[in-house]
Copies of this chain bind each other. A is one copy, B any other.
Amino acid sequence: MGMRNVLASGSGSRSDGRDYPGTADRHPVSGWQRKHDAIAGAALVLFARDGYERTSVDAIAAEAGVSKRTVYSHYGDKENLFLLVLRETYDTIRDRVRDIVDRNLSDVDDVRQALTACVREIVRTISQAPERATLVRLVISEAPHFPAILDLWHNRGIVPIIAEPLAKLAAAGRLEADDPALAAEHLSALTFGQVNNKSMMGTIQLSDSEADRIISSGIAVFMRAYGPAAR
């Protein structure tokens, strides 16, 4: 798909009116591209805020500053726009998480401390982008009506990303995890799962301290079960 990653940076509409021809892209930063991005950005904000059915193409066009007809020219129909925005946002989040995991769990000194810092940063990063925080809720809401969404849930989750460093820690004798993938599920349930539960999948904003308490308690349980000499 030829769309720029406007979704990664938030708003999506640029303030200046200039074009930037001459780049190597198929669509240099042109009026076309700017509109394309603006539509995607507006769609993300409105879908996340109001849900799929409650968001009209009219509203997306208005938010993006284009006519409704332009939205249809670029994306065909509402459903296609929705799926594209979901996928793009999902991948953006995944990239961020991968980066955070790499930075926190590559060279580990204290296991508990490293896991805590890693999970906290992930939770904080996601919750700081409200549109992206509500994405999970949106996916859950609309999955039954858009089977294509199921793929996002199963093949693009963040648990496998965490499983890798856990496997290395287990191999190094720092964790008692026979099955790193399963351990990652448990760590995820005890941290992200608890946060999502308390916040109602991002509906209710948690304070940082509240999130930290939940995460610490979850990791405490994880370490009691998986820490060295746990059995």
Q: Which residues of A contact B (CB under 8 A)?
A: 49-51, 53-54, 134, 137, 140-141, 143-145, 150, 153, 182, 185-186, 188-190, 193-194, 197, 200-201, 203-204, 217-218, 220-222, 224-226, 230-231
| Cβ–Cβ contact A231 & B221, under 8 A | no
In the bound assembly, the distance between CA atoms of A144 and B49 in angstroms comes to: 8
Quick one: closest B residue to A52, CB to CB? Answer: B53
How many copies of this chain does one complex carry? 2
In the bound assembly, the distance between CA atoms of A231 and B221 in angstroms comes to: 11
| Cβ–Cβ contact A51 & B53, under 8 A | yes
Quick one: closest B residue to A225, CB to CB? Answer: B224
Q: Please give 19 more A-B residue pairs, beta carbons under 8 A apart, in addition to A51-B141, A144-B203, A189-B193.
A: A49-B144, A51-B144, A137-B141, A140-B203, A150-B200, A182-B217, A186-B190, A186-B221, A189-B218, A190-B190, A193-B193, A193-B194, A193-B197, A221-B221, A221-B226, A222-B225, A224-B224, A224-B225, A224-B230
User: Known: A225-B224, A225-B225. Is A185-B189 also a contact (CB below 8 A)?
Assistant: no
| Cβ–Cβ contact B218 & A224, under 8 A | no
In the bound assembly, the distance between CA atoms of A182 and B231 in angstroms comes to: 22
CB distance from A17 to the nearest CB of B (A): 35
| Cβ–Cβ contact B141 & A140, under 8 A | yes
| Cβ–Cβ contact B140 & A201, under 8 A | yes
| Cβ–Cβ contact A51 & B145, under 8 A | yes
CB distance from A169 to the nearest CB of B (A): 16
Quick one: closest B residue to A213, CB to CB? Answer: B182
- B contact residues around A230 at 8 Å (CB): 224
CB distance from A55 to the nearest CB of B (A): 10
A186 touches which one: B137, B150, B185, B218 (CB < 8 A)?
B218
- B contact residues around A141 at 8 Å (CB): 51, 137, 140-141
- B contact residues around A194 at 8 Å (CB): 185-186, 189, 193
Quick one: closest B residue to A185, CB to CB? Answer: B194
